[in-house]
Amino acid sequence: MRAWSVTRPGPMATHPLSLSDKPIPEPGEHDLVVRVTVCGVCRTDLHVTEGDLPVHRPGVTPGHEIVGQVSAVGRRVTDFVPGDRVGVAWLRHTCGVCRHCRRGAENLCPSSRYTGWDADGGYADYAGVPASYAYHLPAGYDDRELAPLLCAGIIGFRALRRSGLTPGGRLGIYGFGASAHLTAQVALAEYGARVHVLTRSAAARRLALDLGVNSSAGAYDEPPEPLDAAILFAPVGDLVPGALRALDRGGILAVAGIHLSDVPALNYERELFYEHELRSVTANTRQDGRDFLALAGRHRLQVTTQPYPLGEAHRALADLAADRVTGAAVLICAG
């Protein structure tokens, strides 16, 4: 099968990916093999490819927003059968016995492993996954629309929860790519929030307004009113002080990315006093995924995608690195 591999991690200009032939995975007794139809292109894939996140498996195939059809199942799998439409996301293993897993925080499991980082992902014709970490998918979406839901959507949903937003609250969103454009819709539909988007891309600002947010402005601008909650999606630490200053008393800033450039020194009185909180977001639990996909079944989200053939994965990642993607980039792996 065709599969991309991270052979020389580094900037996209150095061509860190190579396309080669790999064997089709064989299912273990608890596993699925999925014929990939679409795989989303996530900023985490970019971090793995460029070396911001050190590769855990040499020559790993990136991609963890996988939609496809089950082609084979292990002998102990009961929840899926060949032909089912299925989703594969970032989290693919936790121990189930550590203190974090036992208290429902499996995203913090020290033994966690991830698709497209610890194991081959979806920039390929086929991918394997433990069945207990695969998702049944909501109706009413095509495969291109579903792919970004599996990471951009789920992580944005967890970040929204971490931000402490309450019904009718005022939310600031910094950066407006794949995850943010879904999270904004959830905040509007589920929370009745007032949403203010701050991002450097003019096209993204236009998309935000088209989706119904209350305002959009530049990334370093001030929102038009104090914020009860904010989420930083852009992996830019320089934005943290301004986002903290934009919070009302008791406000929370959640940082949604797995990688962030260095945060400048913070001034306690300007940025942290009045019980401002700064929170990180680490992966997600499977329950987050199930809850978000159920929500996506209740509220028809508008998913903006920019498609690329599988053979142009390098161009898709380069466009993402250069902010040339509006919404979510997706690789079309099969018809």
pLDDT digits (tens, 9 = 90+) for 104-162: 999 999 999 999 999 999 999 999 999 999 999 999 999 999 999 999 999 999 999 99
Look at residues 315, 322, 183, 323 and name the one whose alpha carbon lies nearest to residue 331: 315
Would you state the pLDDT for residue 87? Answer: 98
Q: What's the CA gap between 97 and 104, in Å, rounded?
A: 11
Would you state the pLDDT for residue 335? Answer: 57
Give the CA-trace dihedral at 124, 125, 131, 135, to 10 degrees: 80
CA angle 39/162/266 to nearest 5° reads: 105
**Homologous superfamily assigned to 154-280:** NAD(P)-binding Rossmann-like Domain (3.40.50.720)
For the chain, the structural domain boundaries read: 2-141+303-332, 154-280
Longest dimension (CA), the chain: 60
Q: What's the CA gap between 132 and 149, in Å, rounded?
A: 18
pLDDT digits (tens, 9 = 90+) for 70-111: 999 999 999 999 999 999 999 999 999 999 999 999 999 999
pTM: 0.94
Check residue 271 and report its DSSP letter: I
Q: What's the CA gap between 232 and 255, in Å, rounded?
A: 5
Kindly report the backbone phi and psi dihedral angles of residue 67, in degrees, each rounded to the nearest multiple of 5, phi listed first: -125, 135
Q: What's the CA gap between 14 and 27, in Å, rounded?
A: 34
Sequence-ordered alpha helix ranges (H) in 103-212:
143-148, 154-162, 178-191, 202-210
Kindly report the backbone phi and psi dihedral angles of residue 199, in degrees, each rounded to the nearest multiple of 5, phi listed first: -155, 155
Residue ranges of the chain with pLDDT lower than 70?
Answer: 335
**What's the chain's average pLDDT?**
96
In this structure, the chain runs to a length of: 335
- Measured in whole angstroms, the distance separating CA 279 from the mean position of its chain's CA atoms is 17
Let me know: does 291 contact 158? Beta carbons within 8 Å: no
Give CA separation, 257 vs 44, 117, 120, 162, 312, in Å.
Answer: 8, 15, 21, 13, 25
Look at residues 286, 287, 317 and name the one whose alpha carbon lies nearest to residue 178: 317
**How many other C-beta atoms can be found within 10 angstroms of the C-beta atom of residue 115?**
29
Domain 2-141+303-332, architecture per CATH: Alpha-Beta Complex (3.90)
Q: What's the CA gap between 158 and 160, in Å, rounded?
A: 5
Would you state the pLDDT for residue 334? Answer: 83
What residues have CB less than 8 Å from 300, skipping those under 6 apart? 140
Q: What's the CA gap between 71 and 68, in Å, rounded?
A: 9
Let me know: does 41 contact 69? Beta carbons within 8 Å: no
